[in-house]
Amino acid sequence: METGTLRAYGDLLRLHFAFAWPLLFCSGTVLAFAAYGGFSWAGLITAALIGLFGFEAGMVLNDYVDRVYDKRDVEGRMTGYWRPFGTRPIAEGLIPARHALILFAVLALFALALILTLPYPHSFFVALIMGYSYTAEVFYQVQKRSQAFPVAQLVGRTDFALFPVAGYLAAGLPDTTALLYFLFFYPYALAHLAANDLADLRNDLARDMKTVPVLYGVRGTVIWIVACTALHGIMAVFFGWALDPVAQAALAMGFLLLVVANVIILRGNGTPEAGLRVLPLFHAAMAVYAGGIILGFFV
């Protein structure tokens, strides 16, 4: 395979972010091990691979569904942030759409095969969330093209919020901790998406996408981000009760990063440049959350 093609697939998979998805998924799994026992390295590695293949399949699905609209981009800053080699492989014709669809199916089947190695009912719970998440992803991509209220964002971000919950259910059962993780992570997912859309505002206007910044303007988006961050902080208190001291400290550190991100957005008057500047802080907060939960399990 030629170097250019390899780079295109690297962009399609967002390879420089690949470490984050197993980390987030396994943060839920170790919480379940702490609550229910049964820890094994084989189980943790299986969970990590499910998270990796499952999320990467979702990344490919995202680009496949939006392949026509991505051709309308007028600036490449967000492409450069999310994709290590700065291309949109399907929209630019570097990877045929049919090949991308096949890759999605292969990755999803790999994830499903690993899920089916989990004992019942864990396999059922995780497979159910996987199926729902891909459906929600398609709904999000299609619905945001024409809406008067951001239902695409409200529904679509449930898939991201359920991702660490799926990791929990890989070794645990639906319980209060699983619910608290969802309620903690969902406002973060909404704030993160709004910041992402703020950074990508000019492209969304060119694509005629009805994202939060397009629907409510810059001021409305800033209010959305601040409100979701505040709700996220409130839920962090409740979720923290289910965690050990190391994980609690990680929640505090991660939330502090989000507070800094909110200050930057406010001082930058909600410009796309400010949105792009804070995205690394949002992603760092997520890594701190997940990493702290995992670290707390082992120390």
Virtual CA dihedral for 234, 236, 242, 244, nearest 10 degrees? -140
DSSP-derived letter for residue 1 is: -
The residues, any chain, with a CB within 8 Å of residue 149's CB and separated by 6 or more, are: 215
Any residues with CB less than 8 A from the CB of 154 and at least 6 apart, and which?
190
Q: How far is CA 184 from the centre of its chain?
A: 14
Q: What is the Cα–Cα distance from 223 to 216, expressed in whole angstroms?
A: 10
Calpha distance 107→63 (Å, rounded): 14
Interacting residues of 63 by C-beta distance below 8 A, sequence separation 6+? 12, 70, 88, 89, 90, 91, 100
CB 177, CB 168: distance < 8 Å: yes
SS (H, E, C) 40-79: CHHHHHHHHHHHHHHHHHHHHHHHHHCCCHHHHCCCCHHH
Alpha-carbon dihedral sign for residues 269, 157, 32, 109: negative
Task: Report cis status (omega within 30 of 0) of the bond before 121.
Answer: yes
Query: Which tokens hold the place of 62?
Result: 């995202």
- Fill in the amino acid letter for 156: G
182 three-class SS: helix
Tokens of 54: 């499952």
pLDDT tens, residue order, the chain (299 aa): 678 899 999 999 999 999 999 999 999 999 999 999 999 999 999 999 999 999 999 999 999 999 999 999 988 888 999 999 999 999 999 999 999 999 999 999 999 999 999 999 999 999 999 999 999 999 999 999 999 999 999 999 999 999 999 999 999 999 999 999 999 999 999 999 999 999 999 999 999 999 999 999 999 999 999 999 999 999 999 999 999 999 999 999 999 999 999 999 999 988 999 999 999 999 999 999 999 999 999 99
Q: Report residue 270 as tokens.
A: 């909600």
157: buried, middle or exposed (CB in 10 Å: 19+, 13-18, 0-12)? buried
Q: For residues 136 and 13, give the distance between their C-alpha atoms in angstroms, rounded to a whole number.
A: 19
User: What element of type H or E holds 2?
Assistant: none
* Distance of alpha carbon 90 from alpha carbon 211, whole angstroms: 22
As a whole number of angstroms, the distance between CA 216 and CA 209 comes to 12
pLDDT at residue 2, rounded to an integer: 75
The residue type found at 149 is: F
pLDDT score, position 1: 62
CATH 1.10.287 describes domain 9-298: no
Q: Which residue has the tokens 């669809």?
A: 101
Report the pLDDT value the prediction gives residue 75, as an integer from 0 to 100.
87
